[in-house]
Structure 1
């Protein structure tokens, strides 16, 4: 199962990120189209994202409502309720089905996997979270045991839309790569 995480407060953006558009398509729908190619998909929403709920209902997308207390708490709640799963943030507009195939192939259902990019693959205009020499991306496998890094190769996974500037950059990239 793939769960699209779309229940955050979006404090830096000031509005619900999953419904914001990149190249005339809401980010949630961009991610959903790619996840749907791989398997069963569920969108995790919360009380923080009523417009995202409306979008899911309008588009016929299955969703589950989390407590909405924070990222870690919601991940733990989802793991308790649903068991191991692959997760992706709704604000990674350039994730591809091939990225999901890679993480699903590596996931044994127990060991958690954190998707990472070698820094040499990160485009210079992007400023991802860096940990232990890797860019952390919002594509993970959530299991019940220890965590390992999984190196991915799609450089655009490093773009996590958190601010209005990130959204503008995503628009520019979409115009270049989606002609």
Structure 2
């Protein structure tokens, strides 16, 4: 199962992120469409995302309500409720179905896989959360035991839209993708 995490407070953005539009389409839909091409998808919401709930209802997207006590606690709750799953952040609009599929192929449901990018492939305009020479990206295999890194090659996974500046950057990238017919 693939679960899109869309229940956060969006405190750095100042407004509910999953419903913000990039190139005329809500950010959640950018992620959802790629995930749906790979397998069964569920969107994790909370009391913090009422507009995202409305979007899911309007689009016929299946969702679940989490306790909304923070990302880690919600992921732990989802793991208890559903077992191992692929987790996608709703704010990584340039994830590709091939990214999700490559992680899914390696995920055995026993050991967690943390999605990363080598820092040298991260575009210079971005300052992602980094650890041990890697940028942590918003796509993971969530399991109960251990943790290994899973290295992606798509540099746009580093564009995690958390701030108004990153939203503007995502809009520019989306325009380039649209013009060049990429995706």
Other structure's SS at 2:73 match:
helix
Task: Report whether the alignment pairs 1:43 with 2:43.
Answer: yes
Unmatched tracts of structure 1, length 5 or more: none
Who is 1:144 aligned against? 144
Who is 1:68 aligned against? 68
Q: List, as ranges, runs of 4+ consecutive aligned residues in structure 1 with deviation greater than 4 Å.
A: none
Who is 1:4 aligned against? 4
C-alpha displacement of 1:126 = 1.0
Other structure's SS at 2:17 match:
coil
C-alpha displacement of 1:175 = 1.0
Who is 1:20 aligned against? 20
Q: Deviations over 1:111-140 (max 9, x none)?
A: 000000011111111111110000000000
Unmatched tracts of structure 2, length 5 or more: none
Q: With structure 2 as the length reference, what TM-score do the two structures score?
A: 0.97
Who is 2:78 aligned against? 78
Q: Deviations over 1:5-55 (max 9, x none)?
A: 000000011111000011111000010000000000000000000000000
Q: With structure 1 as the length reference, what TM-score do the two structures score?
A: 0.99
Task: Report whether the alignment pairs 1:169 with 2:169.
Answer: yes
Who is 1:132 aligned against? 132
Whole-angstrom CA distance in 1 between matches of 2:150 and 2:134: 10
Whole-angstrom CA distance in 1 between matches of 2:139 and 2:178: 22
Question: Across the two proteins, how many residue pairs are aligned to each other?
Answer: 179
C-alpha displacement of 1:178 = 2.1
Whole-angstrom CA distance in 2 between matches of 1:55 and 1:118: 34
Whole-angstrom CA distance in 2 between matches of 1:81 and 1:93: 26
CA RMSD for the aligned pairs? 0.5
Who is 1:53 aligned against? 53
C-alpha displacement of 1:146 = 0.2
Other structure's SS at 1:61 match:
coil
Who is 1:159 aligned against? 159
